[in-house]
Chain A
């Protein structure tokens, strides 16, 4: 049968605008969440993480928000730059599962000049 690939959500933003990438996670027992960025031909690169006892964490130009009630995670990128163009994945680690990440399907971010 025909193989169907994952349909990656896409987000296009103008350079300099803010980007918001959303992720719904599956396991209510997850207590650690990570955002990764993957550029073409490279492995995932750590961006920012957050533990379940927090609802917001800020890094350099990035902010992660966690809403445990609806099992939703978002990544906000301020003043998006061309180098931010990549696929962004959220990942969760359920409590007690050590370093076994469960990844979301990813979002393709394209920054327009």
Chain B
């Protein structure tokens, strides 16, 4: 069974640009969550999607947005990039049949903002 797939693996952008990251969950998983990982702040929750609906959102500005498609694939978008957005963006999927459930993470997209 294939794991969580994130594309692209690496991305370089400049300030003010926007970026879209993609995540394909494990087959059959309906929940997709996004996390940001930086040396300064560690791992922080961005948002969670289930059945194309955002169910939970972390404490990030509105420049960070996401969506989920009917096949459970998800994208996140960051507009008007800032230097501080440089981070590893991780996607995690789960079956979402119970409240507390194992999350399986992808290898992430390393975003560098110059």
Most chain A beta-carbon contacts within 10 A, residue among B33, B56, B103, B106:
B103
- B-side contacts of A99, CB under 8 Å: 31, 33, 48, 56, 92, 94, 96, 99-101, 103
- Judged by a CB distance under 8 angstroms, whether B64 is at the interface is no
The answer to whether A103 touches B100 (Cβ under 8 A) is no
The answer to whether A6 touches B105 (Cβ under 8 A) is no
Measured as residues with beta carbon below 8 angstroms from the partner, the interface class of chain B is 20 to 34
Task: Report the Cα distance A65→B101, complex, angstroms.
Answer: 19
**Besides the known contacts A5-B39, A100-B45, A100-B58, 14 further A-B residue pairs in the complex with CB atoms under 8 A apart:** A4-B40, A34-B102, A43-B90, A45-B105, A46-B102, A46-B104, A49-B102, A99-B31, A99-B48, A99-B99, A99-B100, A100-B56, A101-B35, A103-B43
- A-side contacts of B101, CB under 8 Å: 99
Measured as residues with beta carbon below 8 angstroms from the partner, the interface class of chain A is 20 to 34
* Chain A contact residues, CB within 8 Å of chain B: 3-6, 31-32, 34, 36, 41-46, 49, 51, 89, 91, 93, 96-106
Task: Report the Cα distance A34→B39, complex, angstroms.
Answer: 21
The answer to whether A98 touches B56 (Cβ under 8 A) is yes
Partner of A46, one of B33, B55, B103: B103
- A-side contacts of B107, CB under 8 Å: 41-43
- B-side contacts of A49, CB under 8 Å: 100, 102
Task: Report the Cα distance A4→B84, complex, angstroms.
Answer: 13
Task: Report the Cα distance A36→B102, complex, angstroms.
Answer: 10
- 5 CB-based A-B contacts, threshold 8 Å: A49-B102, A99-B31, A99-B92, A101-B33, A101-B45
- A-side contacts of B96, CB under 8 Å: 99
Closest 7 CB pairs of A and B: A43-B105, A5-B39, A32-B100, A103-B43, A44-B105, A43-B107, A100-B45
The answer to whether A43 touches B41 (Cβ under 8 A) is no
The answer to whether A44 touches B90 (Cβ under 8 A) is yes
- A-side contacts of B66, CB under 8 Å: none
The answer to whether B4 touches A103 (Cβ under 8 A) is no
- A-side contacts of B103, CB under 8 Å: 34, 46, 99, 101
Most chain B beta-carbon contacts within 10 A, residue among A43, A51, A97, A98:
A43
